[in-house]
Copies of this chain bind each other. A is one copy, B any other.
Amino acid sequence: MKLSKLYGIGVGPGDPELLTIKAYKILKEVDMIVTPRSSEDKRSLALLTIEGIINERKNEPIVVEPVFPMTKDQAKLDFYWEKAREEVLKNMKDMKGCETVAFITLGDPSLYSTFYRFLKIFKDVVDEVEVVPGVTSFSACSSIAKTPIAEGNEIVSIVLDITGNDNAVQIIKNSDSLIFLKLKNMDKIKTMLGNKKAIIGIKVGFKDQKMFFGGLNELQQPDHYLSTLIVKKEPQD
């Protein structure tokens, strides 16, 4: 059993209007949609983003929502990825004539997405792969704040967890602008950067998005992993 095409689709930050026209067209036609979620009792946020498109369709696609728990335990992750693969293959078989699958991911597939992991465990059953880029959360965050991240020759760095990462300390020192995704270590970042002008976006693009602007020292550690902190060393005049 082979699949004629697997799409890796970035659905953007959460606002359905921030999907690309290309993603929209593919999601209207594809036979199966695979969307990861963090636990059995939580909905997939990527799926929430494209719910309107599924409702618009004449024929309903099969939607597979494998669970990938938030863990660094590699054995556990391998187990769940293999389970996801089996679930997709079983659905393909049951469906008969399932030719195309779209694996959707929030933001853009190039940055910290699960798509390439999925591709690795799945590529032996796929004839052709196409990746569709999407709008990142930091682009959306900057847009809402109406503040650019970088101009001229400024250097921008994207950092996730800085715990025990010596390179991150140097990066924070040498970049003109910093983007922290899935924001952790807020206290350490404050200590390192001082009271710079900053923006925090939580669930940016979704209906319940929250934005905070101010001096870095006034801002709090967000309570959701979909959080983006942008710090510019030279504030705009």
Interface residues of A (CB under 8 A from B): 8, 10, 12-13, 15-22, 24-25, 108-113, 115-117, 119, 129, 131-136, 138-140, 142-144, 146-161, 165, 167-168, 170-171, 173-176, 236
A143 touching B110 by the CB < 8 A rule? yes
A168 touching B139 by the CB < 8 A rule? no
B18 touching A20 by the CB < 8 A rule? yes
Task: Find the residue from A13, A133, A150, A159 having the highest chain B CB count within 10 A.
Answer: A133
B21 touching A17 by the CB < 8 A rule? yes
Contacts of A20 in B (CB 8 A): 12, 17-21, 135
> Nearest Cβ in chain B — how far from A9, in angstroms?
10
> Nearest Cβ in chain B — how far from A236, in angstroms?
8
- Contact partner of A175 (CB less than 8 A), chosen from B109, B134, B157, B161, is B157
Instruction: Report Cα–Cα, A168/B151, bound state, in Å.
Output: 15
> Nearest Cβ in chain B — how far from A154, in angstroms?
8
Instruction: Report Cα–Cα, A110/B138, bound state, in Å.
Output: 8
Instruction: Report Cα–Cα, A15/B131, bound state, in Å.
Output: 14
Q: Nearest B residue to A204 by beta-carbon distance?
A: B133
- Contact partner of A148 (CB less than 8 A), chosen from B113, B142, B143, B174, is B113
B136 touching A132 by the CB < 8 A rule? no
Instruction: Report Cα–Cα, A151/B120, bound state, in Å.
Output: 13
Contacts of A117 in B (CB 8 A): 151
